[in-house]
Amino acid sequence: MQQSPPKFSISDLNLWYGTSQALKDITVDIEERSVTALIGPSGCGKSTFLRTLNRLNDLISSVRVEGSVLYEGADIYAPDTDVIDLRKRVGMVFQKPNPFPMSLYDNIAYGPRVHGIRDKATLDDIVERSLVQAALFDEVKDRLQTSALGLSGGQQQRLCIARVLAVEPDVVLMDEPTSALDPISTAKIENLLEELKKQYTIVIVTHNMQQAGRVSDKTAYFFLGELVEYAGTKELFFNPRDKRTENYISGRFG
């Protein structure tokens, strides 16, 4: 099998919140059409790192970034980067489901409409395709015009995934997407990841070590802003190279 070029190529990435350094010399490649898990204790920099991939940290005024983040070979921190387009291509799903207070249909059509799609038939297609991809369509197809807030937590989270997929992204970033969900909803989303990675590149932050083990192809362990170990998930969970990784995943931390 021919090795594709990495989706993201990050070199010597440093990030500060004011004077406090949150990421230190991160150099890593993220492979396309795979699931990469980011693990580490709270405050280790994993969510900050995730947000550097679509420049969500820009929204925090004190943030300073050095180093380069190449997305398909182009530095997304270059001055001429179209950040709106970047975030369309690199979508994000958050920890708590955050549907808009509107119908299921309008939640999903929101993004495409912002990007200028008005045709009803086209929007219908997008809504259905996105819900199917997010493994939600069958459960909600008869209530697309009802409020999204009436869905269960697990359904809301899959709706948020469908909303991201509706704008046809290339990469989906997920920040602890199942931490607020019960085991059945979690399993549905984990199964979904297996499907989604055939088409998308997925980077997921998780505090659930078993989840990282189950869903990801590669795992990165962050500690105190450093990338301690980055390896195939099976290898990292069975025979980690670094003692700090071993301690963390075995629960010997702290």
Partner 1 sequence: MMRIQFNEELNRLHHDILAMGSRVEEDLRKALLALRTGDIELVKEVKASDQIVNAMQMKIEDQAAMLIATQQPVAKDLRQLVTMFKVTDNLERIGDHAVHLAKTVKRLSGDPYPRPLDRLERMAAIDVAMVHDAVASFLDQDEALARSTAAKDDEVDTEHKAFVQEVLAFLAENPGKAQLATKLIATSSYLERLGDHVTNLCEAVVFMLTGAHTELND
Please identify, using beta-carbon distances, which residue of 199 and 208 lies nearer to partner 1: 208
Query: In the complex, what is the shortest distance from the CB of residue 239 to partner 1, in angstroms, rounded to a whole number?
Result: 3
Q: Which is nearer to partner 1, 154 or 240 (CB)?
A: 240
User: Closest distance between partner 1 and the C-beta of residue 211, in Å?
Assistant: 11
Give whichever of 178 and 245 is closer to partner 1, judged by the CB atom.
245
How many residues are given for the chain?
Answer: 254
- Closest contact distance (angstroms) between CB of 98 and partner 1 is 30
Q: Could you list the residues that contact partner 1 (CB under 8 A)?
A: 209-210, 213, 237-240, 245-246, 249-252
Rounded distance between C-alpha atoms, residue 3 and residue 31, angstroms: 9
Cβ pair 31, 200 in contact under 8 A: no
Least distance CB 210 / partner 1 (angstroms): 6
Determine the distance from the C-alpha atom of residue 82 to the mean position of all C-alpha atoms in its chain, rounded to a whole number. 20
Q: How far is the CB of 235 from partner 1 (least distance, A)?
A: 9
Residue 41 and residue 55 in contact, taking contact as beta carbons nearer than 8 Å: no
* Between 133 and 233, CB nearer to partner 1: 233
Q: In angstroms, rounded to a whole number, what is the distance separating the alpha carbons of residues 252 and 254? A: 7
Angle at 111 between CA 45 and CA 75, to 5 degrees: 45
In this complex, which beta carbon is closest to partner 1, that of residue 86 or of residue 209?
Answer: 209
Query: Can you tell me the distance from the alpha carbon of 167 to that of 160, in angstroms, rounded to the nearest whole number?
Result: 12
